[in-house]
Amino acid sequence: MLPINVALIQVSPPDNFGWMSLGVSVDISKAAAESADVVIIQVNPCMPRVLGRSLIHVNSADYIVEFEEPLLAKQDMPEIETADSIARHISRLINDGATLQTSQGMTSLNTAMEIDLTSQVAADALPYNNFSGVNGMLDFIRGAAMVKKGKSIFMLTSTRDNGKSSRIVPFLKNTAVVVPRGDVQFVVTEYGAVNLFGKSIQERALALISIAHPHFRMDTKYLGYFFDGSEAWITVAKKRFIKAFAVKARSLAT
């Protein structure tokens, strides 16, 4: 365990035996309390009492403060057109009655920061900056894949920086791969959804280009992925690519 000097945690009022519940904070709070040198506990009547390994005894506290306040809650997000489009595409992939993993489930829904044309996913860091750190994403992805009719879905907007750059890139640079291409199944942007399971490298690239922002689909960086990058080849590629693109991309999306 990491050394912790002081843990400040919030709990429900104790029962008749002195046990308090961590309520909505059954994540790292218990581990923090068990490893800290000093444990300060806020008893909040608004904290719900839950079952499971969520209890801490009053004798474990060095200091107890009683203070009632509303629990922190996520506010309603503003309407975002791209997010609504992504949600519509995802809704067609989810079976009725499926358990969703935005926390824990089988149909797994995860957000990607960036994905390359081979379908390697970067999800925990921006270039040179940590975003979320190592997490259990890969466990849930593989768990959903092992369930009968289970699905793993990655969602991301097609662009960032107000549309100046694409999140679907030829190669990942200056960021780490979190999910290898063999574990990636469905990828969804506001421009559609593609199933990459069992696809070759070039089929994956073609499918991902089909859900990239239209401004970047004919980018020479993308086309150079298939050809040698020379101007002559790029010109030929564009003509052939545009003709075959729509039909081929639609067939890969199913």
* pLDDT on residue 189: 93
Q: Is the pLDDT of residue 36 over 90?
A: yes
For 45-112, give the DSSP string: TTSPP--SS-EEEGGG-SEEEE---PPP-PPPPPP-HHHHHHHHHHHTTSPTTPPEETTS-SEEEEE-
Which of 12-16, 85-89, 116-120 is least confident? 85-89
Dump pLDDT digits (tens) for 150-182. Answer: 888 899 999 988 888 899 998 888 778 889 999
Average pLDDT of the segment spanning 31-35: 89
Name the average pLDDT for the chain.
81
**Which of residues 55 and 236 earns the better pLDDT score?**
55
Angstrom distance (rounded) from CA 48 to CA 50? 6
**pLDDT band at residue 233 using 50, 70 and 90 as cut-offs:** very low
Q: What CATH number was assigned to the domain covering residues 81-252?
A: 3.40.1080.20
3-state class of 25 per DSSP?
helix
C-beta neighbour count of 43 within 10 angstroms: 18
Is the separation of the CB atoms in 77 and 114 below 8 Å?
Answer: no
Instruction: Read off the tokens for 143.
Output: 């768990």
**Which of residues 43 and 219 earns the better pLDDT score?**
43
Of all residues in the chain, the percent with pLDDT exceeding 70 is: 77
For 168-221, give the DSSP string: EESS--SS--SB-GGG--EEEETTEEEE-TT--HHHHHHHHHHTS-HHHHT-HH
Q: Is the pLDDT of residue 69 over 80?
A: yes
Q: Is the pLDDT of residue 194 over 90?
A: yes
Domain residue extents for the chain: 4-66, 81-252
Angstrom distance (rounded) from CA 119 to CA 110? 14
Instruction: Read off the tokens for 180.
Output: 């290898």
Of all residues in the chain, the percent with pLDDT exceeding 90 is: 33
Select the highest-mean-pLDDT range: 80-84, 123-127, 221-225. 80-84
**Which of residues 82 and 132 earns the better pLDDT score?**
82
Q: Is the pLDDT of residue 62 over 90?
A: yes
* pLDDT on residue 108: 78
Average pLDDT of the segment spanning 115-131: 74
Instruction: Read off the tokens for 70.
Output: 């509303």
Q: How far is residue 233 CA from its own chain's centroid?
A: 37
Angstrom distance (rounded) from CA 89 to CA 84? 9
Which of 14-23, 104-113, 179-188 is least confident? 104-113
Instruction: Read off the tokens for 227.
Output: 């050809």
Among 107, 101, 171, CA closest to 136? 101
Among 160, 83, 162, CA closest to 127? 160
Which of 40-44, 136-140, 234-238 is least confident? 234-238
Angstrom distance (rounded) from CA 123 to CA 27? 21
